[in-house]
Structures are given as structure tokens and as C-alpha cells.
Amino acid sequence: MKQIFSYSLIVEDLNSRPFEKNLMPLSFIKFMLQFLILITITAYYLNIVTAENPWSLEVMFKSSTLMIVVCGGTVVDTFFTIAAMLAFFNINRYLDEKQRDSLTIKEVLQLYLKRFLRFVPILYLAFFFGVYAMPYFGGSEDPLWHTFQQILFYRCTEPDIMASKLLLVGNLYPFFQDDLNGCMQWTWSVECDMQLFLITPWLVMLYRKIGSKKMYSLMGVFFFIGFIVNYYMAMQHELTAGVFSMNNYY
């Protein structure tokens, strides 16, 4: 839902610019990717609710189609790629129109504020509704009650956890948390999107200063560092690729 509010940040009227009309299909693809992410999250949490026979889930997990939908890694990565490309393009085009190579601090802060305000309405609504309103719906006999109260919103009332979610840093603090002991863990994609956007204006300005060849080399270095960090984290915590692997929970 939040991606409905997060397309172009500096110039929003794409229809008035013939060249930018070519970007409209990408904006549509971006929206559809977010829609698929929502489907993935829904399938994920519906499949970890209490089952009368937990071993019956194993039959579902053997389905290749189901695991592609539930894991959804390609969808998330593609979404971030397109979102970053559109943000980079819009900022770069804005600087072209202004005939300069850098943004002012005021302009950067305005970009941050616009991005933040596009995220928080629906995010805060989901957070406060889930924490303070959902307890009044259903009860312990409801099959989804355990998922809502003991998994989705389990630690949301703790002051430090609540602050991390409201400030969009919940993917960083607590640094390592499992899916059975946290607060709205699925918002990590929103938090990552916001954090990645924080560096986008500076990357655009760096690109315009050092040129494309040096920028490609720098991005290659960043990619390699990210790969090493991910590999180290997976080995350090014995994580596996399977989203439902028990090693990823305990």
C-alpha cells in the first residue's frame, strides 16, 4: 500500500513531459511488485498460524509454486531496483533543469520529509490499529489470535521497539530478531526503502561529480561488500535459504 504514495518525489507530473512517459510502465511495474510483496506477506503469515497437525504444512512446502510465491526474493529485489532507478532519474533530471550538479541542504531535507510523509500515514495506521485495536477483536480461541498477538505485535508496546518502528529503523534495531519474537517484522521493506533513499541524493551528486565510469566501479565495490556482509551474517547465525527452515527461527 505505501508504494501507492511513493512514486516521483521532485517532479510528479510525468504526463507533461514526453520522454518521461516512457517511465510510466516502470511505475506500474513498481506498483505491481509491491502488490506481489503484499501477497507474499499474506501467504507467509497465514502459513505460520497454529495448525492442528503441523506436519501437514510439510506437504505444502514441497510445492515449488508455493515456495516461489512465499519466498518472493526476486520480487523484493526487483522492486528496490526499479524504485532506486526512478528516484535517481528524477533527482538527476531535476539537477539538469536547474543546471547545477548539487542539491542544497534544504532541498535534500525536503526530499527526505516528502518521502517520510508518504510512508507514515498507512504505516502508523497499521501499527496503532494492530497494537491497540486488534486485542479487542476475537480472542484466544480464534485460530489467528496467536499469530496476531504472539508474533506480529508481540513486542510493539516496548518503548525502544515502538520508537524503532515509528522512526523506520526497525530493520536495524534490534539488530537480529527472529520471526517469533518481534514487532511488525514485515515492515523491513518499508524501512529499507526509506534508508536507501536517504543516500540516493548524495549518490546522484557524486555521480555528476566523478562521472559514470568511476561511479560504476564504486557501485561494484559496494555490491561486493554487501555480498560479503550477507555471507558472513548467514554463516554466523547459521541461516538457510528456505524461508520456513527451523534454523531461521531458533
Same domain, 33 and 154: yes
Same domain, 173 and 61: yes
Q: pLDDT averaged over the chain?
A: 75
Same domain, 221 and 202: no
Same domain, 157 and 222: no
124-157: per-residue pLDDT in tens? Answer: 998 898 888 877 776 656 656 666 666 678 788 8
Q: Out of 32-36, 44-48, 92-96, 219-223, pick the least confident.
A: 44-48
Structural domain span for residue 245: 215-250
Same domain, 205 and 247: no
Same domain, 123 and 183: yes
Same domain, 98 and 138: yes
**How far apart, in whole angstroms, are the C-alpha atoms of residue 209 and residue 190?**
30
Q: Are 122 and 149 in contact (CB under 8 A)?
A: no
- Other CB atoms within a 10 A radius of the CB of residue 204 amount to 23
- If one counts the domains in the chain, the total is 2
66-99: per-residue pLDDT in tens? Answer: 666 665 666 777 778 888 888 898 899 899 988 9
Which residue from 164, 120, 126, 178 is spatially nearest to 148, judged by alpha carbons?
126
**How far apart, in whole angstroms, are the C-alpha atoms of residue 62 and residue 59?**
5
Same domain, 107 and 13: yes
165 CB-side CA count, 13 A: 26
